Each structure stands twice: as C-alpha cells, then as structure tokens.
Amino acid sequence: MAASLNQGVDSAVTAEEIAQAFQEAGLEALSSEKLTQFETYLALLLKWNAKLNLTSIREPKAIIRRHFVECIQCAQALPQLQEGSTLLDFGSGGGLPGIPIAICRPEIQVTLAESQRKKTAFLREAVRTLGVQVEVFDGRVEDMPEERRFSIVTLRAVDKMAEACREAVSRITLHGWIVVFSTTGKEAEINETLPEIQWRQRLRIRGLEKGEILFGQGS
C-alpha cells in the first residue's frame, strides 16, 4: 500500500519521522498503514499549498506539530461510537480534523463540508489518493438537506464561530456530540452560545500553550 499511496507524491518527511513526532507528542501509536497515509497527506498539503492557501504553516514538521498532532489527539479522544456513526467536519478547509479522524477512526463515516470550490477539489483529490471512505460536501453546511444529522460535528478554525456553533448544534443527532477546537478562556463565550450542550471534557492540546478541545453532548 505504501508504494501506491506515494506514487507521484513526494513527501518531505518520512513515515518513520512522523511516527517519532507522534510518539514525542504522547499520542497512541498508529499502524504503519496509517503512518503512510499521513505521510502522503502531508505531501499533498505541501503540493497544493503552493498554489492554494490551505494552511499558513509551510514547514513540514511544523504542519505535523501544529495540525496533525492536535487532530489525532482529537480523534483518539472521541467517544467510542457504534459502527456506522457519522461525523461532520464543519468548514473543513484542508481536511483538518476530518481527514485525520477518518484515518484514525475508520468506523466513523466522515463528511467534509467546504464551500470554497478550489478547496473541495483538494479534498476530493486527498480522499481519492488516501483511499479513505469520506464524503466531500461542496457547499455551506446551511445548504445541506434539512434532515441531515450527524453523531458528531467538529469545528476548527471556522469563521464566525458563534454562528457556526449554532448551526452545528442543529446538525447533531439526539445526544450527539459537538467538538470545538478553542483557546483557554473561551469556554464562557461558548457556553453562552450553546446553553443546551453539556460539556463532558476539556482536552489541552499538546504543544500549544493555550489550545484546547472542548467535547460537548446534546441533551
């Protein structure tokens, strides 16, 4: 699988180096297959970022530290769900955290929602190359069919966070989860925006002084 994944994609960092970075961050060990997928995903981000602003971080090892580590940390902390549970990555951008979650938690059916066409082109290419079972929704979450609901909705680096949180809550199933990548001190504002959510866990992001991930559950 490693050869097929890396065909035509030049990674600046090897899977072994990625594994070392994950180990140093205290993450649970990943299989060699998953590490190869992250190696390929990194190479795709670097290639497309040269012409499309997927991330302001350009240095490969910094992408691993800043993006991959916290997204994998989130994936590994998600509650255990039944097979066939669904997750919506709200405003997915470059596929973070949706693609790392799809790699780490294949039992969850992931949908990446992104309204910018150039970014959805990247997401489709990444999904195809990585071989993950992921849906790409080309449009705004607000334009999704009204009946679509998800077991989990994640929000990371989205515009107009308060409005996005309100829309996200309307998209979770009964007792579904909302996962917000935030910073220390923002809890009160998010609690005020989402009074119906019970916050079950606050996870400090490794390597990011004020970063945290909030896990909330609907009633």
- Domain locations in the chain? 2-218
Q: Which range is least confidently modeled, 21-35, 98-112, 182-196?
A: 182-196
Contacts of 16 (CB under 8 A, 6+ apart): 35
Contacts of 125 (CB under 8 A, 6+ apart): 44, 48
DSSP state of 56: S
pLDDT for residue 3 is more than 60? no
Residues 211 and 204 sit within 8 Å (Cβ to Cβ)? yes
**Which residue bears the tokens 């709200």?**
90
pLDDT for residue 147 is more than 90? yes
Distances, alpha carbon 165 to alpha carbons 46, 92, 129, 180, 188, in Å = 30, 14, 31, 8, 14
CATH number of 2-218: 3.40.50.150
The residue count for the chain: 219
Q: What pTM, to 2 d.p., does this model score?
A: 0.93
Query: What's the whole-number mean pLDDT along residues 119-139?
Result: 97
